[in-house]
Amino acid sequence: MRVSPVLLLLAGAAAPVVAQESKPVKTPTVVLVSGPQVGHTAPDFTLAWANKDGVGPADNPYQLWRDRGKTVVLAFYPKDFTSGCTAEMQTFADQYDTLFGPDVIVVGINADSVDTHQRFAAKLGLPFRLLTDPDLKVARTYGSYDSSGRPRRTVFVVAPDGRVHYRNSKFNPMDPKDYSALGAAVREARGS
Amino acid sequence: MRPYLAALLLLGALRVTALAAQDEGPAVGARAPVVQVPDLNGKPVDLGQYLGKRPVFLEWWATWCEQCEALLPRVRAARAEIGDRVAFFGINVAVNQSPERVRRFLEKTEVPYQTLYDQEGVSTRAYAAPATSYVVIVDRDGRIAYTGTGGDQDFLPALRRVAAP
């Protein structure tokens, strides 16, 4: 497994802002973003899961290596039932066929429990699984973690050969161009 | 000390403004970006006609956004109180909806702002809008006075301040 650290400077990156007013300009902070880059092997992991129909069996967790040979989309997102994450997951669901297509495995990942995931997936009718990364070890491995204590919204496309084909560490759930780029990356990975 | 670590510390010490963090909008006090956003008919609306000239209220919303729906009564009440002293804009995000869907929504629901439809996500990127229900209030000098998200956010004090003569 090659995981070369890459530095990305993010000024002003801190805990997500709920509301701010009458404050001076935020003190910039620096966040170190690491994790697998494009062309590197996606690190394997094992996580519990849930989907809209229920919680996955404890003896059958999600394991990335089992999907070798398929295109896999890993979507790290901060928290279930929040507006940005709802926008992202709902869009993935509603545009599933055009964004991903058949035989593509999509999983959402954050620290929420499998029970919360199940309710979130059922509410949105998600046609894919949500994985629970309770201590965010996988998020850290993938460089999808920051000081907020939640996963950084990051999307990876893992090609059938197990290598990272695409990575967006600043996926904006409200930007149509980010979805277009993701869809294009999935099509490329499926053909690679 | 490794060179990259030294570089990080130096840049942090210099308070370098670089990339905006995701899930976080621009800072209070920053100058509000001037962008053009189309209305529902595709006609560009230049926010530069308002920003820096009068206070502005911006909300990024969508028809499917429950928090936007929860916030709507507060925005209505604010508009009723503040009136035209502030320019109110509701910017629809072009994710998971269409202009037709927005029009159908507006036939049933009265909104207290001029409706825009950001087909290309220009304003979303310029303001690093992290989520629907994201509100930005800009003072008459064109500087951001408030940002927030959620259906229960309390933007009214900031709005009253920027609207004050």
pLDDT digits (tens, 9 = 90+) for B26-76: 899 999 999 999 999 999 999 999 999 999 999 999 998 889 999 999 999
User: A31 in a domain, yes or no?
Assistant: no
What CATH number is attached to the domain comprising A80? Answer: 3.40.30.10
C-alpha to C-alpha distance for B21 and A153, rounded to whole angstroms: 10
Spell out the residues 6+ positions from residue A150 whose beta carbon is closer than 8 angstroms to its own: A16, A78, A79, A110, A111, A136
User: B1 in a domain, yes or no?
Assistant: no
Confidence of residue A82 (pLDDT cuts 50, 70, 90): confident
- SS3 for A113-142, per residue? CHHHHHHHHHHHCCCCEEEECCCCHHHHHC
User: A134 in a domain, yes or no?
Assistant: yes
Nearest residue, CB atoms, A87 vs list B21, B25, B131: B131
Lowest mean pLDDT among A26-30, A33-37, A98-102, A105-109: A26-30
C-alpha to C-alpha distance for A151 and A158, rounded to whole angstroms: 18
C-alpha to C-alpha distance for A109 and A94, rounded to whole angstroms: 19
Contacts of A86 in chain B (CB under 8 A): 65-66
Element containing residue B126 per DSSP (H, E): helix B122-126
User: A30 in a domain, yes or no?
Assistant: no
User: B130 in a domain, yes or no?
Assistant: yes
Contact B20 A153 (CB under 8 A): no
Contact A172 B29 (CB under 8 A): no
Confidence of residue A150 (pLDDT cuts 50, 70, 90): confident
Interface of A with B in 21-40 (CB under 8 A): 21-32
In this structure, are residues A151 and A111 in contact, taking their beta carbons and an 8 Å threshold?
Answer: yes
Domain that holds residue B118: 21-163
C-alpha distance from residue B79 to each of A59, B42, B83 (Å): 55, 25, 5
The model's pTM: 0.78
Contacts of A146 in chain B (CB under 8 A): 21
C-alpha to C-alpha distance for A21 and A158, rounded to whole angstroms: 41
Q: Is the dihedral of CA B57, A27, A33, A63 positive or negative?
A: negative
Residue A107 C-alpha from the chain's centroid = 7
Rounded (5°) CA angle A102-A106-A110:
170
C-alpha dihedral over A146, A151, A154, A159, to 10 degrees? Answer: 120
What CATH number is attached to the domain comprising B55? Answer: 3.40.30.10
> Which whole number is the average pLDDT over B134-156?
96
This model of the complex carries an ipTM of 0.72
Q: How many domains does chain A have?
A: 1
Q: Just list the catalytic residues of A.
A: 85
User: B5 in a domain, yes or no?
Assistant: no
User: B66 in a domain, yes or no?
Assistant: yes
| Ranges A9-13, B21-25, B120-124, most confident | B120-124
Rg for chain A, CA atoms, rounded: 16
The DSSP bridge partners found for residue B138 are: B56, B144
A156 touches chain B (CB under 8 A): no
Judged by phi (left if over 0) then psi (alpha if -120 to 50, else beta), residue B48 lies in: alpha
User: A100 in a domain, yes or no?
Assistant: yes
Nearest residue, CB atoms, B29 vs list A25, A170, A178: A25
What is the structure's pLDDT at B20?
30
In this structure, are residues A134 and A147 in contact, taking their beta carbons and an 8 Å threshold?
Answer: no
Domain that holds residue A144: 46-191
Q: How far is A58 from chain B (nearest CA, A)?
A: 32
Give tens-digit pLDDT for B70-109.
999 999 999 999 999 999 999 999 988 899 999 999 999 9
Confidence of residue B22 (pLDDT cuts 50, 70, 90): very low
User: B151 in a domain, yes or no?
Assistant: yes
Q: How many domains does chain B have?
A: 1
Residue A190 has pLDDT above 80, yes or no: yes
Interface of A with B in 41-100 (CB under 8 A): 78, 82-84, 86-87, 90-91, 94-95
User: A12 in a domain, yes or no?
Assistant: no
User: A71 in a domain, yes or no?
Assistant: yes
Q: Is the dihedral of CA A35, A167, A175, B30 positive or negative?
A: positive
